Amino acid sequence: MVEPGFFVDRGPELRSLEEAWASGRPGLVAVYGRRRVGKTRLIMEWLRGKPHAYYQAGLWPGNLEALAAAAAEQLGLEPLREAAPRSLRGLFSLLAALIGGRRAAVVVDEFTYWLRVEPGVVSELQYVVDHVLPGTRLLLVVSGSLVGLMQREVLGGGSPLYGRALLRRRLGELPPWCLPWFAPRYGPVELVEAYAFFGGLPFYLRLVDDSSPPLEELLRILGPGGVLEDEPLFLLREEFREPSPYLALLRALSQGATSLGEAAQLAGLPTSHASRYLHTLRDLGLVERERLLFQRRRSRYRVADNLLAAWLAVVEPAASLLRDNPPAGRRLAAQLAARHVARVWERLSCLHAVSQLAPRLGLSPSTYGRLERRGEEIDCAVIDESSETVLLVEAKWSSLTAREARRVAAAAARKAQALLPSPMSGYRVVAAVYARSADPAGDALVVTARDMPWGGGCPGPARGASTKPPGGGD
């Protein structure tokens, strides 16, 4: 487990916040994203050394009074506390008068909780943004973990604040290459497994004890009796008043459904309803549409959130057995985990091929995605139209001999002839095999877990945190 003050990466996000501060302009800054993604940690890192007031809202009455007290104490504005403002506009009008022309930030963390308790607060916020902030040098920062509510009521086209934010950032997961900073004792294979189970979510990664295998940590944290046993259900209940149909769709996708029709049938939902639910899950970043090349009428879907996918695919199916017969439950969990990690390895391999391998081969990707037709498929194809080259990716989460690696590469090249459209019949084809590990395979292009750029492009801990540098070594 890493130390509490640990902070990794987030360079682009920090820079955008610093630029907003350095501009001297007043205005609204919105930071939002999935629970546990690191919004508060980012904001607190950015606030270092700046005059500010920070308040974390909650699902309770009295948020206005608590914000006024926080601003009075942290900015040294005692008259603000004594005035007891009755509205957000009154609070900020008085705050603006007291602080004068000084630069300061006021942060309302988890603003969506306040909004859920008092829906009218967003109209008050609009008044503050339109009529109070322009005469000041204040930055008002709101953050939210309820992504759907943030999109609909704060930033979306129908909300009072639409188009009014000076800066808006949706915070995503850390890149997979950052994991060695959280688990420096894990080797390359274990890092892939840890990413498959926990994604790039800092909160969960901080809980991982890298002296134990990743699967053991998954079961310790999310399994029966685990410290976050109810976390996946809690995430869904926060976003949805009735989470059952969304959970049913997510289960269907985790069980192998890839199309809307398959997912709807497994979930027991009418296709029209499932389509609407699936669209919402995509907006929230919990489901993603897989890229299918040269397929206009077909779509494939998958669970995009690795932690949620791991819970659905590994923990939940084995939960009863883990309670009643732990040894048998762990054996089942290991079998399910191997399949889950293999699916994530396909995605990780495609990401590496596009961002790392293609540039190394002198290619400039025009597009990429899965090739699929008439029962044949290739995990990922990266197309460079300028050089008329196709880089094929076949991902195998197994240890390959040199002969097996060459056979997989040759089979991919053969399949490409049937899968690529006729205008690309003259393109040069390069096949890359991605494996957990592999023997040297001569002229075959093989990439293993060890070849992933662990720690690359991912700045280390901020503020001098003492952690072993990443290496992805054994």
Which domains occur in the chain, in start order? Answer: 11-170 (3.40.50.300), 177-345 (1.10.10.10), 347-451 (3.40.1350)
Mean pLDDT along residues 342-362:
96
* Helix (H/G/I), strand (E/B), else coil: 224: coil
- Give the DSSP letter of residue 102: -
Q: Distance of alpha carbon 124 from its chain centroid, rounded?
A: 31
- What would the pLDDT profile of 306-347 be if each residue is shown by its tens digit? 999 999 999 999 999 999 999 999 999 999 999 999 999 999
Mean pLDDT along residues 106-135:
94
d(CA 290, CA 369): 8
C-beta separation of 467 from 2 below 8 A: yes
* DSSP one-letter string for 402-458: HHHHHHHHHHHHHHHHHHS-GGGTTSEEEEEEEEEEE---TTSEEEEGGGS-TTTT-
Band the pLDDT of 472: cuts 50, 70, 90. Answer: very low
Of the given ranges (23-32, 372-381, 393-402), which has the lowest mean pLDDT?
372-381
C-beta separation of 83 from 92 below 8 A: no
d(CA 189, CA 450): 7
| Beta strands at 389-400 and 376-384: parallel, antiparallel or unpaired | antiparallel
Q: Residue for token digits 């890229």?
A: 291
- What would the pLDDT profile of 229-238 be if each residue is shown by its tens digit? 999 999 999 9
Residue 62 has which token pair? 């009295």
d(CA 205, CA 183): 8
Interior angle at CA 249, CA 246 and CA 252, nearest 5: 150
Residues belonging to the chain: 474
**Residue 5 clears pLDDT 60, i.e. is over it:** no
Alpha-carbon distances of 124 from 114, 154, 163, 167, 244, rounded to whole Å: 12, 12, 16, 19, 34
**b (16+ CB within 10 A) / e for 146-162:** bbbbbbebbbeeebebe
Q: Which helix (H) or strand (E) holds 308?
A: helix 306-310
**Residue 1 clears pLDDT 80, i.e. is over it:** no
Of the given ranges (70-79, 89-98, 151-160, 307-316), which has the lowest mean pLDDT?
151-160
Number of Cβ within a 10 Å radius of residue 466: 7
C-beta separation of 4 from 33 below 8 A: no
What is the distance in angstroms between the CA of the first residue and the CA of the last residue of the chain?
18
d(CA 471, CA 465): 17
C-beta separation of 429 from 413 below 8 A: yes
For the chain, the average pLDDT equals 91
List of residues 6+ apart from 340 with CB closer than 8 A = 196, 309, 310, 313, 314
**Residue 216 clears pLDDT 90, i.e. is over it:** yes
Identify the CA nearest to 37 among candidates 235, 239, 326, 332: 235
C-beta separation of 470 from 190 below 8 A: no
Identify the CA nearest to 138 among candidates 172, 171, 166: 166
pTM greater than 0.85 (yes/no): yes
Q: What is the largest CA-CA distance in the chain?
A: 79
